[in-house]
Amino acid sequence: MAITKTKFINYIRCPRYAALDNIKKDKLDSIVTFEEYKKEEEETKLLELLDKMYDETGEDIIDITSSHMETMMPYYNEVEILAGHLAPKYFNGKFRFARDTQNQESFDALIGNIRYICYADIYNEDNNEFRIIECKATTTKKYLKLGFKDNSIFQKDKDGIYKLLEELDVKIEDYMPIEKYKEAKSKLIDKYSGPGHYVYDLAVQRFMIENDLKQNNDKRTGKYYLAVLNSKYVFDGKYENGKPKYDEINGEDIISFIDLTSITESMMDNIQKESKLVEGYINDLHAEKYPLGTYCEKKKTVKCKYCDICWSIIPEKHSIFTYLFNHKGFKKDGINYSVFDLVNSGKVNMLDIDESYLTRDINIIQRRALENNDPYVDKKKIIDGLKQIKYPIYHLDFETFNCPLPRFKGEVPYSQSVFQFSLHIEKEPGKCDNEKDHYGFLAKDHEDHREELIKYMCDLIGEGTVLVYNESFEKTRIKELAEIFPEYRERLLKINSQIFDLMNIVKNKTSLYKELGYNKEEAKKINYYNPDMDGSYSIKKVLPIFSNITYQGMEVANGVEAMVTYAKFPKLNKKDFEHKYQKLVEYCQQDTYAMFKVLEGLKKEVDYKV
Ligand code: SF4
């Protein structure tokens, strides 16, 4: 079985992977079928797509099921089809693009005793050169935000293709200082960074293609591109046969092409060396323990499939990863230690290191709370925060679908399209019934129900505080809706001005507490920490501390599950639809009732009476 791009990227993670994969060494020079190849690549692409969705929801990672993958597959397919249709607008010559057939251009090379194989999503050639275009369901945002201030290291050339500034007829200094340019560009070659992940994937593909050409004495030269969703594309709401029609709008197409020829060229020597390493790993097949590292990608959907085995040494609770900001490392006697330095030297529990390793106040608070089994409570700050809340309280939460392709007018790729809200109204302090005081809206299908949702929400919310958990999410959604629906703008912006973030009291918000008269140091400090939160301020972790309600056992138990459930709506039969609809209502209802319970719990904790 030949090594595919996905396999290569996995085998190079660490020497243990290949051994755990139980490779049949004698089969490594045989060809892989297109179906096998496609299945493997598509799984990876879907995991990447779901990773993008996690990015946006900011949720803790959950295990991806095949049902998640199946549900999201059509969205991914559509991105590829759009890229295939748009490519001839940007490139001349002949194309080979085929989604489901073996007509994709394939390359294979025998390097050492291992055969490598890859297919190009879009292959294009003219008399001068060939071009490889890989489709990814990510957006230009990842690349355009690399730079300094508002200027990206990528700008469009005269043909509308994004290129690095150094490849355009411009002076880099007119956009940003050279050091800033170099710093931003270096992220492209970090394969474990957001933008670098896709660049590395393309570079591995290039390595295989160039070896194939070399072995066939083919002297042609190629260029290498990514085709990604254009984050500047704002859908105008035009449909054809009931489907969105993604015409060019204000000079922007739904797909953008990014030229990564020079950056992938610079990575070839390194990938050559990596191919030698992979060969060595396969020849040796050592399954012994290997140090854990960023290459495990534990927190991503594309995490190593052997995390369950290798990471079993990390305790489920109070591990060293519980220390907030652990990715910034630790320090002792002037020596810096990364969290992996400590883990790999056997320090896997929070208490395996002594306090002298901790340089951040919050980490010292976490540690002492655990050691003394006693929550940290800054009573005065919590009370001052609670005083900011005015009654009645509208506990509000949205559920959104960040669809790769915009579905409704005013949306961009991966817009957080609001399909549900839940509202609990606490008219008087401490009085809120989970059923009687609950209101909500949930779209029944994939039609545009945003206006109904806005209208109902605006009618329900009057004077008082709109309480949310993690305000930037709700505030941004309301601002977006106010732009798209100008007739509700005033009412929506009024709601935004009433928003108060409960997390600002549980955790902290420096600017709020400065306004309340605290000095910088006091304002920065955390307000509350309970060891049972295990390093997370998510409502799911905070709720069980203040109530006996839990998300465990719920059929829909997190935002990603909610999104996937909604995505499935059109495919469900009546009975299943009604069941899932109810489960979604229950989930979102729990989110807002949770806020009421947390607020009550906090008041009790600090003995606060309104
Ligand atoms: S989990 Fe990490 S250490 Fe284990 S095989 Fe995967 S990459 Fe290697």
pLDDT at 36 over 90: no
The dihedral built from the CA positions of residue 566, 572, 574 and 580, taken in this order, carries a sign that is negative
CA distances from 121 to 4, 39, 93, 99, 588 (A): 14, 14, 16, 8, 39
Pocket probe for ligand 1: among 9, 292, 298, 343, the residue whose CB has the most ligand atoms within 8 Å is: 292
70 CA → ligand 1 middle, Å: 26
- pLDDT for 254: 98
311-333 per-position pLDDT tens digit = 999 999 999 999 999 999 999 99
Q: How far is the CA of 291 from the centre of ligand 1 (A)?
A: 8
Q: Measuring CA to CA, which residue among 263, 202, 187, 195 is closest to residue 52?
A: 195
Write down the pTM of the prediction. Answer: 0.91
For residue 492, the model assigns a pLDDT of 98
Sign of CA dihedral 425, 426, 427, 432: positive
For position 63, what pLDDT does the model report?
A: 61
Residues 388, 493: Cα–Cα separation, whole Å: 19
State the distance from the centre of ligand 1 to the C-alpha of 15, rounded, in angstroms.
8
Q: What is the pLDDT of residue 34?
A: 65
Please check the confidence at residue 377 and state whether its pLDDT lies above 90.
yes
pLDDT for residue 22 is more than 80: no
- State if residue 296 touches ligand 1 by the CB under 6 angstroms criterion: yes
Distance CA 135, CA 82 (A): 10
Return mean pLDDT, the chain. Answer: 92
The candidate with the shortest Cα–Cα distance to 236, out of 377, 110, 409, is 409
3-state secondary structure of 556: coil
End-to-end C-alpha distance for the chain, whole angstroms: 69
Overall fold of domain 379-605? Nucleotidyltransferase; domain 5 (3.30.420)
Q: How far apart are CA 146 and CA 154, in angstroms?
A: 8
**Rounded Cα distance, 475 and 459, in Å:** 18
Q: Pick 164 or 300 by higher pLDDT.
A: 164
pLDDT category at 342 given cuts 50, 70, 90 is: very high
Return the pLDDT at 65. Answer: 66
User: Do the strands 255-259 and 222-229 form a parallel or antiparallel pair, or are they unpaired?
Assistant: antiparallel
Distances (CA, A) of 207 to 40, 96, 302: 19, 20, 22
pLDDT for position 2: 80
Q: CA-CA-CA-CA torsion for 223, 228, 232, 236, nearest 10 degrees? A: 120
Kindly state the percentage of the chain with pLDDT values over 70: 94
Question: Which token pair is 336?
Answer: 């810096």
When pLDDT is cut at 50, 70 and 90, the band that residue 61 belongs to is very low
Mean pLDDT (whole number) for 49-73: 63
Distance 283 CA to ligand 1 centre (A): 18
Does the pLDDT at position 474 exceed 80? yes
In this structure, which residue's CA is closest to atom 1 in ligand 1?
A: 307
Residue 237: closest CA among 409, 407, 403: 409
In the chain, list all ranges with CATH 3.30.420: 379-605
14 CA closest ligand 1 atom index: 8
pLDDT at 57 over 90: no
Residue 16 Cβ < 6 Å to ligand 1: yes
Query: What's the pLDDT score for residue 301?
Result: 81
505, 602 contact by CB (below 8 A): yes
Residue 459 neighbours by CB under 8 Å, 6+ apart = none
Task: Give me 254's structure tokens.
Answer: 């739904």
Measured in angstroms, how far is the CA atom of residue 289 from the centroid of ligand 1? 9
Q: Can you tell me whether residue 304 is helix, strand or coil? A: coil
Helix H or strand E encompassing 205:
helix 194-215
How many angstroms does the Cα of residue 511 sit away from the middle of ligand 1? 41
**Residues 217-244: tens digit of each pLDDT:** 998 999 999 999 999 999 999 999 999 9
Which candidate, 208, 203, 200, places its Cα nearest to that of 3? 208
- Is 533 buried (19+), middle (13-18) or exposed (0-12) by CB count in 10 A? buried
User: Any long-range contacts for 344-348 (C-beta under 8 Å, 24+ apart)?
Assistant: 344/291, 344/292, 347/320, 348/313, 348/314, 348/315, 348/319, 348/320
Nearest atom within ligand 1 for CA of residue 16: 5
Q: Which atom of ligand 1 is nearest to the CA of 307?
A: 1
Any atom of ligand 1 within 6 Å of the Cβ of 11: no
Q: Given this model, what pLDDT does residue 250 score?
A: 94
Counting from 1 in the atom list of ligand 1, the atom nearest the Cα of 20 is 5
In this prediction, residues 374-390 reach a mean pLDDT of 97
Give residue 162's Cα distance to chain centre. Answer: 23
**Among residues of the chain, what percentage have pLDDT more than 90?**
78
Residue 365 has pLDDT above 90, yes or no: yes
DSSP 8-state class, residue 373: T
Report whether pLDDT(456) > 60. yes
Beta-carbon count within 10 A of 88 CB: 14
pLDDT tens sequence across 114-131: 889 898 999 999 988 999
Pick the residue with more confidence: 553 or 438? 438
Closest residue by CA, ligand 1 atom 7: 296
Q: Is the pLDDT of residue 56 over 50?
A: no
> How do residues 133-153 score in pLDDT, each as one tens digit?
999 989 999 999 999 999 999
The rounded Å distance from CA 347 to ligand 1 centre is 18
Output the pLDDT for position 26. 59
pLDDT at site 27: 60
pLDDT score, position 300: 85
- Looking at per-residue pLDDT, the higher value among 79 and 67 belongs to 79
Residue 530 above 90 pLDDT?
A: yes
Q: What burial class does residue 276 get, using C-beta atoms within 10 Å of its C-beta: 0-12 exposed, 13-18 middle, 19+ buried?
A: exposed
Q: Tokens 């959907």 map to which residue?
A: 301
How confident is residue 64, by pLDDT bands cut at 50, 70 and 90? low
* Ligand 1 pocket member 587 (CB < 6 A): no
Separate counts of helices (H) and strands (E) for the chain: 22, 23
Residue owning the nearest CA to atom 5 of ligand 1 = 17
